[in-house]
């Protein structure tokens, strides 16, 4: 049986607790004090000291995984699906490993959008300088010139990026279930131009600059004795601070800061930006949206801000488990009426496919997506 460092640290406290609890009133006061001490110990931080290094591969091959011919993620040697609990009792480490794999999956899907779907990566803001933070979307060659129809895809919130519906489905099921690729290919086969939004790419992360702590001895006007005393205090304080930092951050993880992308700092901003600079300028007579989860909320916000323009170009909207709320978003009567005629929300339900599902909101119809709306909506057709 292995004993973790955190267990060894806490063992004397547990022993003292058991001994004190057998005593009288004075011991009870000590018990209360020790309980207070225990409540202030951050076990998560202590557990970091037992972790292996947070140093993960940056390729699928490095993780010893690959997608097979069915689009399923499988271990190269064993053929087994992805295992989350790679190291037992190290949940934080396993989660960090999963997130590292997820970043590789994101880049893998980006490559598929360009190489397999023949989409182009378009950087935004369109007038960005060389040095400012940028995001990007993906578009088909004819996205802006197709005179007939244009398909716009918006994913939900969280870690997913352009081309994905759900990272978990990509890793645990297959690419067809978790990505937008089947939608994109079918749309292109049926003569649609395609634009794939990237509403969660709102900022870039950079390492925080290290703050320089000025030594007290920099003040040369003070008497020598006073300056020496202050230097001693300064060095002792710095030593304690460094010791605490080593405890707080034993893996020496980089402290990051976020630099937001101009006019794309939120999913709602991003959707409006792409509308103004791309969709509104497209030649398509009919524009169709497929929006999942928070993507539905972003579409409703777009309607609120660009109601007349949206009504003039958008023919139909397929929502999947949309989390929009016309009351909270203060969508007006004319928007709600338009949504009733032009939108449909496929929601998770045990009812048969396309069965009407009751809604308390006076907006668009809700129908059953049966098993899973992400994989079912594609069977409903992409519109005329």
Please tell me the predicted confidence (pLDDT) of residue 363.
86
Whether the Cβ atoms of residue 4 and residue 50 lie closer than 8 Å to each other: yes
Q: Which pLDDT band, with edges at 50, 70 and 90, does 297 fall under?
A: very high
pLDDT at residue 381 is higher than 90: no
What is the overall mean pLDDT for the chain?
83
Task: Give the model confidence (pLDDT) of 215-242 as tens digits.
Answer: 544 555 667 776 777 677 767 776 666 6
pLDDT at residue 8 is higher than 60: no
pLDDT at residue 384 is higher than 70: no
How far is it, in rounded angstroms, from Cα 326 to Cα 304? Answer: 10
Please tell me the predicted confidence (pLDDT) of residue 245.
54
Place of tokens 């004397």: 12
Residue from 135, 177, 293, 322 carrying the catalytic annotation? 293
More confident residue, 195 or 8: 195
pLDDT at residue 189 is higher than 90: yes
Closest CA relative to residue 155, chosen from 119, 196, 188: 196
Please tell me the predicted confidence (pLDDT) of residue 236.
72
How far is it, in rounded angstroms, from Cα 186 to Cα 153? Answer: 13
More confident residue, 106 or 369: 106
Residue 144 backbone phi and psi in degrees, to 5: -95, -15
Residue 158 carries which DSSP code?
S
Task: Give the model confidence (pLDDT) of 13-31 as tens digits.
Answer: 443 444 445 556 666 666 7
Taking CA atoms, 261 is separated from 136, 177, 315, in Å, by 10, 30, 30
Q: Which pLDDT band, with edges at 50, 70 and 90, does 258 fall under?
A: confident
Q: Which pLDDT band, with edges at 50, 70 and 90, does 81 fall under?
A: very high
Average pLDDT over residues 296-320: 98
Please enumerate in sequence order all residues whose Cβ is within 8 A of that of 153, keeping only pairs 6 or more positions apart, or say none: 180, 183, 184, 194, 195, 196, 197, 289, 290, 291
Average pLDDT over residues 264-276: 98
How far is it, in rounded angstroms, from Cα 197 to Cα 194? Answer: 10
Q: Which pLDDT band, with edges at 50, 70 and 90, does 40 fall under?
A: low
Contacts by residues 102-106 (CB-CB < 8 Å, ≥ 24 positions apart): 102/159, 102/167, 102/171, 104/57, 104/58, 104/59, 104/60, 104/63, 105/167, 105/170, 105/171, 106/161, 106/164, 106/167
pLDDT at residue 374 is higher than 70: no
How far is it, in rounded angstroms, from Cα 316 to Cα 302? Answer: 14
Please tell me the predicted confidence (pLDDT) of residue 360.
78
pLDDT at residue 321 is higher than 60: yes
Average pLDDT over residues 87-103: 88
Give the global pTM: 0.76
pLDDT at residue 382 is higher than 80: no
pLDDT at residue 179 is higher than 50: yes
Please enumerate in sequence order all residues whose Cβ is within 8 A of that of 372, keeping only pairs 6 or more positions apart, or say none: 177, 348
Please tell me the predicted confidence (pLDDT) of residue 255.
76
Is position 293 annotated as part of the catalytic site? yes
Please tell me the predicted confidence (pLDDT) of residue 77.
94
User: To 10 degrees, what angle do helices 181-189 and 91-115 make?
Assistant: 10
Q: How many CB atoms lie within 10 A of CB 18?
A: 9
Average pLDDT over residues 281-300: 98
Q: Record the tokens describing residue 294, joined without a space.
A: 């928070």
Average pLDDT over residues 166-176: 96
More confident residue, 353 or 28: 353
Residues in the chain: 384
How far is it, in rounded angstroms, from Cα 16 to Cα 349? Answer: 55
pLDDT at residue 72 is higher than 80: yes
Average pLDDT over residues 97-120: 96
What's the half-sphere exposure (Cβ side, CA atoms, 13 Å) at 30?
14
Helix runs in the chain, H state only? 5-20, 25-39, 43-48, 60-63, 91-115, 167-172, 175-178, 181-189, 224-248, 267-277, 294-305, 307-313, 333-342, 373-376
Please tell me the predicted confidence (pLDDT) of residue 214.
53
Average pLDDT over residues 100-112: 97
Residue 324 carries which DSSP code?
-
pLDDT at residue 174 is higher than 50: yes
Q: Record the tokens describing residue 306, joined without a space.
A: 């660009």
Taking CA atoms, 20 is separated from 25, 28, 29, 33, 360, in Å, by 10, 7, 9, 11, 58
């Amino acid at each position: 049986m292995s004993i973790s460092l955190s267990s060894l640290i806490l063992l004397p406290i547990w022993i003292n607790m058991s001994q004190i609890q057998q005593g009288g009133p004075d011991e009870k006061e000590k018990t209360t004090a020790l309980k207070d001490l225990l409540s202030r110990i951050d076990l998560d931080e202590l557990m970091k000291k037992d972790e292996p290094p947070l140093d993960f591969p940056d390729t699928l091959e490095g993780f010893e995984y690959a997608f097979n011919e069915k689009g399923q993620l499988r271990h190269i040697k064993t053929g087994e699906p992805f295992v989350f609990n790679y190291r037992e009792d190290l949940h934080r480490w396993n989660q960090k490993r999963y997130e590292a794999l997820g970043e590789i999956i994101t880049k893998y899907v980006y490559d598929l959008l360009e190489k397999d779907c023949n989409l182009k990566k378009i950087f935004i803001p369109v007038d960005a300088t060389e040095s400012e933070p940028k995001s990007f979307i993906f578009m088909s060659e004819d996205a802006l010139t197709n005179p007939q129809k244009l398909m716009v895809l918006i994913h939900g919130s969280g870690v997913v990026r352009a081309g994905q519906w759900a990272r978990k489905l990509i890793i645990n099921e297959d690419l067809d279930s978790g990505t937008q690729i089947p939608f994109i290919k079918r749309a292109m086969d049926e003569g649609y131009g395609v634009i794939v939004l990237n509403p969660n790419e709102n900022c870039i992360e950079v390492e925080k600059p290290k703050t320089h702590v000025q030594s007290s001895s920099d003040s040369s006007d003070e008497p020598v004795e006073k300056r020496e005393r202050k230097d001693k205090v300064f060095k002792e304080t710095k030593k304690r601070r460094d010791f605490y930092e080593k405890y707080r951050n034993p893996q020496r993880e980089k402290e990051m800061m976020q630099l937001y992308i101009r006019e794309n700092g939120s999913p709602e901003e991003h959707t409006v930006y792409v509308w103004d600079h791309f969709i509104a300028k497209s030649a398509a007579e009919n524009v169709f949206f497929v929006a999942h989860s928070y993507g539905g909320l972003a579409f409703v916000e777009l309607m609120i801000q660009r109601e007349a323009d949206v009504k003039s170009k958008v023919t139909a909207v397929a929502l999947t488990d949309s989390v929009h709320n016309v009351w909270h978003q203060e969508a007006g009567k004319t928007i709600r009426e338009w949504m009733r005629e032009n939108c449909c929300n496929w929601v998770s339900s045990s009812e048969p496919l396309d069965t009407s599902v009751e809604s308390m909101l006076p907006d668009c119809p809700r129908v059953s997506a049966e098993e899973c709306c992400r994989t079912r909506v594609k069977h409903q057709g992409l519109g005329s």
